[in-house]
Structure 1
Amino acid sequence: MNRPLRRLSLVVAFLFFALFASTTWVQFISAGKLNAMPGNSRQLYAEFGRERGAILVQGGAAVATSAKVEDPYQFQRAYPAGQLYAPVTGFYSLRYGTSGVERAENDVLSGSADELFYRNLSTLLTGEKPKGADVTLTIQPKVQQAAWDALAGRKGAVVALDPETGDVLAMVTSPSYDPNGLASHDGKTEQSTWTSLNADDDDPMVNRATGSLYPPGSTFKLITAAAALESGDYTADTLLKGPQELPLPQTSNTLKNDEGTACGPNDQVSLADALKISCNTAFGDLGLTLGADKLAEQAGKFGFGQSLSIPTSVATSSFPTGEKVAGPLLAYSAIGQGNDLATPLQVAMVSAAIANDGVVMEPNLIADVREADQTADVIDQPSPRELGRAVSSGTAKTLQQMMELVVSDGTGTRAQIPGVTVGGKTGTAQHGTGLPPYAWFTSFADDGKKKVAVAVVIEDGGSTESAYGGRLSAPVAKTVMQAALDG
């Protein structure tokens, strides 16, 4: 072979190799990345052309479905309950992607999960069109509706948990939004809905139950009380300092009680009575005595600082460290002010752990995943999972009794349910000078057959006097607990 032919053969071989390498790169190495690109219309047609699994609640009602439509995408998502479940289900949108359960369970809902491989293979062989699996939530519709109605359009959130399993029985936030506009296949409708929701100062697309962090206010006194009891140096009857004003270290400022009076005779009050009347000075002094490390450790045992997925994402609640809890700030952190931050889910977990004899269960939204066909075979069914022990069973029993006093004869009397054991803790959380406080209530109820734990926060509840958690949030919690026990 002469030299020109050899050179030509080398060029041809190189070009063939380059073509082979580029094809391999596109079809195998970069395939996943290219398929996931938002602008990949073929991927969109393939994904939306497959019937997506439904999202169901307890009892079988669908809160997210796929309807057949006459357009290139073939199926469109629909949300029959609109705003009621939007913070839980999230949305499924051509342009804006997914959120909530739609995102967390996308693999099974879309039918692309590894668990569905053999089913998809069989449908390929039979010529059937594959579809996604159904996801059933732990949400109980009666409890969800009761929480929504009781919140009555006020900004805030409600979470109800089964203390023994961690199942989320209700998760409501207000204001909410209608995800149907985001699921529209009409581009203008989709975009205008998105623009309007994002321009709303009330942030209706934020799941306040899991995605918003609030100062927990006096609900945190449960954790301070738990730390004291767990230390072995305190009982429910131990007398604490409870003056009208508590001098703070390193400053001329003082910590005051909301009522402007001392919490007991001779400026003393028992630990149980301090919780019952929510005495700031007693718990502030108790926090200073216990120290930041013990409070931080106890908060961590209840779930503060832990990354949670239920399986939707959850903002991490936190107890401050370093300079953020030094000196006088420790007294404020001991009463849930200062730099303490918590989600309503976390506050519900505190009451749930106390009601569950001190054991913290991992919160969970998913009851099961099933085949979307006549067999409805179970693909996955999460089991209850312990996150750890927050307090001993003895401490939990003492805290239960102390919380029961709050409801029977303290700041939480509006949560009373005849014939039912109810314990609770009120909270009024300041979050800025001149701003209306947040009204908190966290509680548990036990009728001998069922248990439920609830947390309620109402934002900007009015004047300081009218925004006490016992006046605004306790009645909401009562309604939700009744619905859970009656369900």
Structure 2
Amino acid sequence: MTKEMRRLSIVMLFMFLSLFVATSWIQVVAADDLAQADGNTRSLLDSYEIQRGSIIVDGMPIASSVPSDDEYQYQREYVDSPMWSNITGFFNPALQSSTGIENALNGDLSGTGASAFLAEIERIVSGQPQRGFSVELTPDADAQRAAYEAFGDKQGAAVAIEPSTGRILAMYSTPGYDANELAVHSAAEAEQRYNELDALKPNPLVNNATADVNPPGSTFKVLVAAAAYATGEWTPESTLPNPARYALPGSNNQVRNAWGGTCGSGDTVTIAEAIKLSCNIPMAELAVELGSETIFAMAEKFGFNQDFTTPLPVAVSSYPQGLDDAQTALSGFGQGQVTATALQVAMISAGLANDGLIMKPRLVDAVIGNDLSTVREYPDEEFGRAVDADVANDVTAAMVASVADGAAQGARIDGVEVAGKTGTAEMGGSNPYTLWFTGFAPADDPQIAVAVVVEDGGGMGQSGSGDTLAAPIAKKIIEAVLNK
């Protein structure tokens, strides 16, 4: 064989192997992703002929399919939809559209995913009609209802997490919508209603719990304190200067505490006291002492600047790298360029509650087959360790003091030690504040960590606070879980 023939043979062999690997990858590894891709209309159309599985919470369906007398055979129905719509999303064959869990787990719900392969063979053999699998979610229905009722007509979101597992116990976004209005089989009617909702400000179709970012305000102080303690150079009793005004480094702009005075009566104040009373100036000073890179590293350990799903997509919370001293000072009390979702702020509290170990937040417990067998379980997964247990305990002590007799007394619960931190974030100029609370309970044996964000000032402009508006909502959610 000539040299040229050998080279040609090698090239042909390489091309054959490449084709074999590519086709194997498509048919085996990537088959499910490709089948459920938005552009794959064949799988989508096939799924309309199948009775979709239910979406289940606490053993009861919050979304299910019933027979229909039109071309699509089944009509999707949602129970208490405004309370659950940000989680379930909607499914509409007439629009060839789906969102939320209906979209994220379409392969299971429609019976067209890789997990349904054996069930499809059994169906063909038995002659039974194909049905999708049901999906069992993690939320606690009482906690979700508590959030729904406590928010009333306020705008914002709440997320509650079981610290030891990462299971999401509540995820509520308001304003919400009725998914039944978007599941109708009249394409014109559904599209009209979708466009009406999409044009509203704020947009009910946006999940404020995972897709909306805001300055976290003073809730971010607990992360800054954790970053300080983790260096080993600072403790809760370390002191900082206590002026009534603080000029941002390299700027004529000044920072004040919310009440305009000093943080207590002394010339200096401890970090623990600054957390308890929610003082801006000492936390700005501390942030500059630590430097932006130290805070950046801690923020990333808690989940900032990272992309993940629950399986719903989550907007990236941001702590930018390379902030100057003025912006670093602002970040010390959750202002400036730092932004976070409600889920991210809940993860901070959940990590502190779990001795510094953050579990990956998840909304799904299991996929259930038509014979009630478990097709797939979703295990608890570690997101990562943010801090050591002693650091978490030190931050927790200040948060407990804040609820007991500090700036977060709106979250107090008789007979329960609650750890918490409020936040009141300025949105620029005369815009209403964004109001926060985050915390967990019981402080010595945490069962629930929660974050509540009330947007647009809760209808009170700049006169509301995290303690008066966000903390009472969190209290109701915590009580719903602890009183079961």
The residue that corresponds to 1:455 in the other structure is 451
In structure 1, the residue matched to 2:89 is 90
1:432 and 1:449 map into 2 onto residues whose CA distance is 39
Question: Which residue is 2:432 aligned to?
Answer: 436
* Distance change in 2, residues 1:235/1:330 (3 Å): same
CA shift in 2, pair 1:229/1:194, >3 Å: same
* Counterpart-to-counterpart distance in 2, 1:370 and 1:117: 14
Name the CA shift for 1:477/1:37 in 2 (closer, same or farther; >3 Å): closer
Displacement of 1:385: 0.7
**Counterpart in 1 of 2:467?**
470
SS in 1 for 2:251: coil
**Which residue number in structure 2 is paired with residue 70 of structure 1?**
69
Contact 1:371 1:377 in 2 (8 A): yes
* Aligned equivalents of 1:39, 1:370: Cα separation in 2: 25
Q: Residues 257, 194 of structure 1: CA spacing in aligned structure 2 closer, same or farther, 3 A cutoff?
A: same
Letter paired with 1:117: F
**Aligned-pair distance for 1:432?**
2.0
Q: 5+ residue gaps in structure 2?
A: 1-26, 28-32
Q: Deviations over 1:53-98 (max 9, x none)?
A: 100002x111110111111111121112121100001111121511
Return 439-448 or 397-406, whichever deviates more. 439-448
What is the correspondence of 1:13-412 to structure 2 with a 5 Å cutoff? Answer: 46-58=46-58, 60-94=59-93, 95=95, 97-322=97-322, 325-372=323-370, 375-412=371-408
SS at match of 2:185: coil
Q: Is the 8 A contact 1:419 1:447 kept in 2?
A: no
Task: Evaluate the alpha carbon distance shift between residue 195 and residue 233 of structure 1 in structure 2; reply closer, same or farther with a 3 A threshold.
Answer: same
Task: Give the conservation status (yes or no) of the 8 Å contact 2:158–2:450.
Answer: yes
Structure 1 letter corresponding to 2:363: L
After TM superposition, what 4+ stretches of structure 1 lie above 4 angstroms from structure 2? 32-40, 42-45, 447-450, 462-465
Q: Provide the C-alpha distance between the structure 2 equivalents of 1:182 and 1:398, rounded to a whole number of angstroms.
A: 49
The whole-number CA distance in structure 2 between the counterparts of 1:96 and 1:429 is 40
Deviations 1:289-324 (A, max 9, x none): 0000000001111111111111110001110223xx
Q: 1:426 aligns with which of 422, 427, 430?
A: 422
**Cα distance between partner residues in 1 of 2:401 and 2:185:** 55
Question: Closer, same or farther in 2 for the Cα pair 1:36/1:213, shift >3 Å?
Answer: closer
- The residue type equivalent to 1:385 in the other structure is E
Amino acid of the structure 1 residue aligned with 2:279: C
Contact 2:34 2:40 in 1 (8 A): no
Contact kept, 8 Å, 1:221 with 1:335, in 2: the verdict is yes
Of residues 472, 475, 480, the one that matches 2:477 is 480
Q: Distance between the aligned counterparts of 1:39 and 1:425, measured in 2?
A: 46
| TM-score, with length taken from structure 2 | 0.90
- One-letter identity of the residue aligned with 2:63: A
Runs of 5+ unmatched residues, structure 1: 1-27
| Aligned residue identity for 1:333 | S
Q: Deviations over 1:338-385 (max 9, x none)?
A: 01010000000001111110000100000111102xx31101111111
Per the alignment, residue 445 of structure 1 pairs with 441
Any conservation in 2 of the 1:447–1:485 contact (CA below 8 Å)?
A: no
CA distance in structure 2 between the partners assigned to 1:156 and 1:121 by the alignment: 46
The one-letter code matched in structure 1 to 2:81 is G
CA contact (8 A) 1:242 1:279 kept: no
Structure 1 stretch displaced more, 275-284 or 443-452: 443-452
Distance 2:412 2:48 in 1: 49
Instruction: Measure, in 2, the Cα distance between the counterparts of 1:284 and 1:174.
Output: 32
SS of residue paired to 1:349: helix
Secondary structure at 2:209 match in 1: helix
Q: 1:413 aligns with which of 397, 402, 409?
A: 409
- C-alpha separation between the residues in 2 aligned to 1:402 and 1:447? 11
| Cα pair 1:216 1:440 within 8 Å, conserved | yes
1:369 partner letter? V
Partner letter of residue 411 of structure 1? A
Q: Distance in 2 between matches of 1:368 and 1:301?
A: 28
- 2:424 is paired with a residue of what secondary structure? strand
1:25 matched residue in structure 2: none
- Tell me how far 1:326 sits from its aligned partner: 1.1
Shift of 1:466: 3.1
Shift of 1:464: 6.3
What is the alpha-carbon distance in structure 2 between the residues aligned to residue 330 and residue 44 of structure 1?
Answer: 48
Contact 2:431/2:462 (8 A) holds in 1: no
Amino acid at match of 1:269: V
Cα 1:346–1:33 shift into 2, 3 Å: closer
Once residues 281 and 35 of structure 1 are traced to their aligned partners in structure 2, the CA distance between those partners, rounded to angstroms, is 51
Change over 3 Å in CA distance of 1:204–1:273 after alignment to 2: same
Mapped partners of 1:228, 1:450: distance in 2? 24
SS of the residue aligned with 1:188? Answer: helix
**Does the 8 A contact of 1:404 with 1:422 survive in 2?**
yes
Larger Rg: 1 or 2?
A: 1
RMSD: 2.0
Displacement after TM superposition at 1:267 (Å): 3.0
